[in-house]
Amino acid sequence: MASISIRNLVKEYGDGYPAVNDVSLEIEDGEFVILVGPSGSGKSTVLRMIAGLEDITSGELLIDGERVNEKPPRERNVAMVFQNYALYPHLSVYENIAFPMRLHKGQFSKEEVDQKVRKAAETLELTEHLDRKPANLSGGQRQRVAMGRAIVREAAAFLFDEPLSNLDAKLRGQMRTEISQLQRRLNTTSVYVTHDQTEAMTLGDRVAVLKKGELQQVASPRELYEQPLNLFVAGFIGAPSMNFLPGSVEGTTLKTPIGEIELNEKQAEAGRDKEVVLAGIRPEFFDEASQVDASQRAKGQVFTAELSHTEWLGNEQYAYVNYENDPRVTDVLQSLAEDMDADELRTQLVVAVDAMSTIRGGDTAELWVNTRRIHLFDPATGENLTRDAEAGARLTEMAREDRQREAERAGAKLSS
Amino acid sequence: MTATAEKNPASRRARQEARLGWYLAGPAFLVMLAVTAYPIAQALFDSLFSHRLTAPDEREFIGLGNYTTILTDPVFGRAMAVTLFITVVTVAVELVLGFALALVMHKALKRLRGLLRTSILVPYGIITVVSAFAWYYMFDINSGFINSWFSWVPGITEDLDWFSNFWTAVTVIMLSEIWKTTPFIALLLLAGLAQVPDDLLEASRVDGATWWQQMYKVIIPNMKAAIMVAVLFRALDAFRIFDNVFIMTGGEAGTEVLALLTYHQTISRLEIGLGSALSVIMFLCVVLMCWAAIKLFNVDLARGTDASSGKGEK
Amino acid sequence: MAAGKLTSKQRVAWTFLTIGVLLYALFPVASIFVTSFKTQADLGSNQFWPTTWTWDNYEMIFVGGAQELFLTALRNSIGITLIATAVAVVLSTLCAYAIARLNFPGKRIILGTALAVSIFPVISVVTPLFNLWRTIGLYDTWLGLIIPYLSLTLPISIWTLSAFFRQIPWELEQAALVDGATQWQAFRKAIVPLAAPGVFTTAIIAFFIAWNDFVYGISLTSTEAARPVPAALAFFTGASQFEEPTGAISAAAIVVTIPVVVLVLLFQRQIVSGLTQGAVKG
């Protein structure tokens, strides 16, 4: 077990383009950190630099306080689970798991190897498949063998490179839980790369959001969600993603294409000197006005809008409202959409309403929006003008404490 | 790739990679050039001289003289006709037979498929000369049993000498050639068959296609590339036919093919000038056939290359 | 594909089809096999089966009158073929590795050249080589055959191996490095086991091709010094002037066919996949 320190890491490829640009990240011992971002964000490159598979152009990488920039992978004592599992097709499951130990002749006795392999196989429910070849295993089983190979190493850290992206949705959910429990039980420092934000939100103690090789924000999933640092993080985290309504602040009133919204003084203050701002409103900040009781109603504002259509998903329901976009922000939103791998920007407001609601497309509905949770962004810089850094830090600190408690509990269980 | 910025460390790496690539691939490349490009250039040069090894002092530059000699000689015309005849007939028969074999293997149960594949690899692996002798002895008037087995067939009698007459001789030559090389075509076509997506066949069945319609409208069009490649490579191969003719008739009974004619000029008669000119002509014919295949039929050569260069013949 | 259960009608049909294919593939071999066991008298009987089976023909080529001719030719064939195969495999392994793994200008030229060489009419090379070899003393030597054999074995080896190498999951090398392997261990334990079957298959195919050669063998040799078996078969003579060498040739043919049949029986799956690699992968 070890801490990992990433300091001003840079990776430049042939054409001089930095795939990773000045990324710094301190990962604590036992922590589960997720690297998330759209394709081309450099998240896998960071991981491969930690593993030692990519040279570091500049910056420093420390594992357990020791500089490892120049060390080959085998001396870094990290285990990695690859996207396509990287199982050795000519070896049985047993030999695949034993492989790392076999590389160090004399270090492990035959009995030790056997014991470790069987224990890992038991943990991962692979015992009955030990004699089979990888080709004869299902996707989930292959995934487990790859994990087994990592476990027996007793490595300082686990590195996961999109380990679940080749599995179908159902299996992915199941394996996600297994990975999470395993990490908690072993309390091994883990770095996990994914583009799937469900994985990012559920697995990570902290999530590092990257865009085009640059670190955007590192925080607990809740802080990312509630106090995003900028437009990109706000848009990337959450599904369906945050609505960005163009508007301008006059007094304490935010003028938007769907109507005027009253802000509190603190919010209005932040956006007042900007000519145009983007109001970030998550779909669940809305509700059908009739569903909101009086005490709640006061925290927000009611407006009417014509719904273009609705989507009913069983446990939730989304309504869509068309609006006219402000030409001053179309460029910003278009490039944001591109950054997020989305096809194109949409000029539709997504509104989460109760699944039981009977409103339909074409209806004119009375909607309520919780104005207190609205964030204002500066379209020019992308900066979140209304971010409460203190509240955010509190959320991340909470996550840290949660983790430590869990680790202690797991430790107690192990020793009992 | 990149390589525009000179001082860029990346283009340096690209250069290093390129250098390593050529260090590794270079020897093989040079050897290939040395054993083909050089000789054909030499042949081109030699073909412009009147040159007999038996009379080395009379070597004399005659320009295209050798070519006019060859092209106006009926012996050459006949050899060309025989070669083309054998090429067309064998390739056509092999295509049909090979397709049938491929279908049988494709439809066969797994257990059976291994057995069938193993057995048809035997002709593929056998030395052409051995195949030639096997067929020769079957038909030979002294030792062969074909005449007595098939004496009930009109025209076949105990004293029919297959190798004294052009049509009978060329038939046996082609039989041996077909027997030995059909497996190769069958394997290529089998690989092509496996590439036809099953859901296409299922779709056509749902659409109401009969077995023949499936064959003509779905399977064969989808295998067109594999078929064209197989045909082209076999045609180029059959055009070089030598071993079977050499063993069975030695070119007697009017069966002299181009390769054998070249051999006789060079090795037996030591006519280096004429032999070289014939070599160049054969080479040009092969180039022409490739060109035609690529231009007229759009055959993507690179697709089937390794497979096709894998046959045992020259 | 045929369904799991066959009706009895289908069973009969498949039995006939299988027998048909087996007959097609094996009958000529069986015919020359039987011939090789015939006595001199039976050789003129115009019957398929011999009246008595005899080892005389094999005696003749191994210890008898044709011994000199056959055994030296066999030694030449084995030696020249193995060396040509080995050289081709080594050169093409390096070349195919570069083509599959490295990015360098000229890749396509190399593959194109291999393609062009493989369709080259061998006889076109023979005339100039015949002349050159006589001048520089390579005529009728092992080396004089090994070099042109490379023109037969190299192209197919390069194509087959590059196709094989392209399919190797090279990231396994990286996985092994992270698992704690040294560069050499990663190569030795993760890559070699995966590449070996491809190299081996290529060697078999290259061996077949060199073993099969006749044109070079008969044109570039004149004595027993380097003449390989296929060429030597054409020079067999009977025990006496009036006897056809049919029996001896048949026996020799069977002897040189045995290694081919053994290789095919052992490695049919690999040979087929090697032969069709490129044709399948578009």
Mention every residue, 6+ apart, whose C-beta is less than 8 A from residue C73: C224, C227, C228, C229, C231, C232
Subunits adjacent to chain A (3 or more Cβ pairs under 8 Å): B, C
Mean pLDDT across the stretch A235-256? 89
Distance CA B163, CA B137 (A): 11
- Nearest residue on chain B to A13, judged by CA atoms? B10
Strand order in the sheet with A206-211: A78-81, A157-161, A189-194, A32-36, A206-211, A214-219
The subunits that touch chain B, with at least 3 C-beta pairs less than 8 Å apart, are: A, C
Q: Is B31 exposed, middle or buried (0-12, 13-18, 19+ CB in 10 A)?
A: buried
Structure tokens at A217: 């924000």
Instruction: Return d(Cα A339, Cα A332) in angstroms, integer.
Output: 10
Buried b / exposed e across C121-152, counting CB within 10 Å, b at 16+? bbbbbbbbbbbbbbeeebbbbbebbbbbbbbb
Q: Which residues contact A21 (CB under 8 A, 6 or more apart)?
A: A10, A42, A212, A213, A214
Instruction: Write out pLDDT tens, residues C117-173.
Output: 888 888 888 888 888 888 899 999 999 999 999 988 998 888 888 888 888 888 888
Distance between B10 CA and the closest CA of chain C, angstroms: 13
| 3-class secondary structure, A6 | strand
Query: Would you call A103 and C183 a contact, using CB atoms and an 8 Å cutoff?
Result: no
Task: Record the pTM.
Answer: 0.78
Token pair, residue A329, equals: 């922000």
Residue B299 banded pLDDT, cuts 50, 70, 90? low
Q: Which of B116, B133, B272 sits opposite C32 (nearest CB)?
A: B133
Local structure of C88: helix, strand or coil: helix
Rounded CA-CA distance C83/C89 in Å is 10
HSE-CB at B23 with a 13 A cutoff on CA atoms is 7
Nearest CA in chain B to C271: B121
- Domains observed in chain C: 30-280 (1.10.3720.10)
pLDDT digits (tens, 9 = 90+) for A298-352: 888 898 999 999 999 988 899 999 988 888 888 888 888 888 877 666 788 999 9
pLDDT at A326: 84
State the Cα–Cα distance between residues B139 and B179, nearest whole angstrom: 15
Interface subset of C 217-256, CB within 8 angstroms of A: none
pLDDT: which is higher, C279 or B73: B73
The single residue listed with the structure tokens 């015919």 is C31
Nearest by CB to C160, from B117, B239, B306: name it.
B306
Cα separation of C217 and C228, whole Å?
Answer: 6
Would you say A243 and A250 are in contact if contact means Cβ atoms under 8 Å apart?
no
Closest CA to B156 of B164, B165, B147: B147
| ipTM of model | 0.87
Instruction: Give residue B306's pLDDT.
Output: 34
pLDDT tens digits for A26-83? 999 999 999 999 888 999 999 999 998 888 999 999 999 999 998 888 888 899 998 8
Instruction: Please tell me the predicted confidence (pLDDT) of residue A351.
Output: 93
Q: Which of B19-28, B31-40, B193-202, C19-28 is the least confident region?
A: B193-202
Instruction: Encode pLDDT of B40-97 as tens digits.
Output: 898 899 888 888 877 777 788 888 888 988 888 899 999 999 999 999 999 999 999 9
Sorting pLDDT into bands at 50, 70 and 90, what band is B309? very low
Query: Out of A107-111, A396-400, C82-86, C237-241, which region has the weakest mean confidence (pLDDT)?
Result: C237-241
Which residues of chain B make contact with C162, given a CB cutoff of 8 A?
306
Residues of B in contact with C5 (CB under 8 A): none
Which residues are within 8 A (CB) of A240 and not within 5 positions of it... i.e. 6 or more apart? A283, A318, A350
pLDDT of residue B8 exceeding 80, the answer is: no
Q: Are A11 and A57 in contact (CB under 8 A)?
A: yes
Average pLDDT over residues A234-245: 89
Supply the mean pLDDT for chain A: 89
C183-202 pLDDT, tens per residue? 888 888 888 888 888 898 88
Is residue A110's pLDDT more than 70? yes
- The length of chain B, given as a count of residues: 314
Which of chain A's residues have a Cβ under 8 Å away from the Cβ of C172? 86, 88
Q: How many angstroms separate the CA of residue A416 from the nearest CA in chain C? A: 32
**Which pLDDT does position B179 carry in this prediction?**
95
Query: Across chain C, what does the average pLDDT equal?
Result: 85
Task: Give B-chain residues touching C13 at CB under 8 angstroms.
Answer: none
Interface of C with B in 57-86 (CB under 8 A): none
Mean pLDDT of B154-162: 82
Flag if C176 and A51 touch (Cβ within 8 Å): no
Q: Which of C85, C123, C160 would you mutate first to test chain B, the one with the most B CBs within 10 A?
A: C123
Report d(CA B148, CA B157) in Å as an integer.
7
Q: What is the mean pLDDT of residues C202-213?
A: 90
Q: Is C195 on the interface with A (CB under 8 A)?
A: no
**For residues C96-101, average pLDDT:** 87
Could you give the CA distance from residue A239 to residue A376 in angstroms, rounded to a whole number? 19
B75-308 is classed CATH 3.40.50.1100: no
CB spacing of B109 vs C213 below 8 angstroms: no
Pick the more confident residue, C148 or B157.
Answer: C148
Query: In what helix (H) or strand (E) does residue B215 lie, and over which residues does it extend?
Result: none
> What fold characterizes domain A4-226?
Rossmann fold (3.40.50)
**Dist. CA A186–CA A411, nearest whole Å:** 9
Instruction: Decide if A399 contacts A206 (C-beta within 8 A).
Output: yes
**If pLDDT is split at 50, 70 and 90, which confidence band does C240 have?**
low
d(CA C141, CA C227): 8
pLDDT tens column, A168-206: 888 888 889 989 988 988 889 999 999 888 899 999 999
**At residue C152, what is the residue type?**
L
Q: Are A227 and A392 in contact (CB under 8 A)?
A: yes
What is the structure's pLDDT at B10? 54
Answer whether C278 touches B (CB < 8 Å).
yes
- Exposed/middle/buried for residue A299 (C-beta within 10 Å: 0-12, 13-18, 19+): middle
- Model pLDDT, residue C237: 65
Among residues C66, C37, C40, C36, the alpha carbon closest in space to that of C54 is found at C37
Which whole number is the average pLDDT over B196-205?
81
- State the pLDDT confidence band at B314, using cuts at 50, 70 and 90: very low
Phi, psi of A86 (to 5 degrees): 50, 50
Task: Report whether pLDDT(B313) > 50.
Answer: no
Q: Which residues of chain A from 8 to 27 reach within 8 Å of chain B, CB to CB?
A: 12-16
- To test the contact with chain A by mutation, choose from C171, C179, C189, C192 the residue with the greatest count of A C-beta atoms within 10 A, namely C179
Nearest to B91, CA basis, from B227, B253, B209, B192: B227
Helix, coil or strand: residue A249: strand
Domain spans, chain A:
4-226, 240-387
HSE (side-chain half, CA atoms, 13 Å) at A392: 17
pLDDT for the residue numbered A414: 64
Could C180 and A104 be called an inter-chain contact, meaning their C-beta atoms sit closer than 8 Å? yes
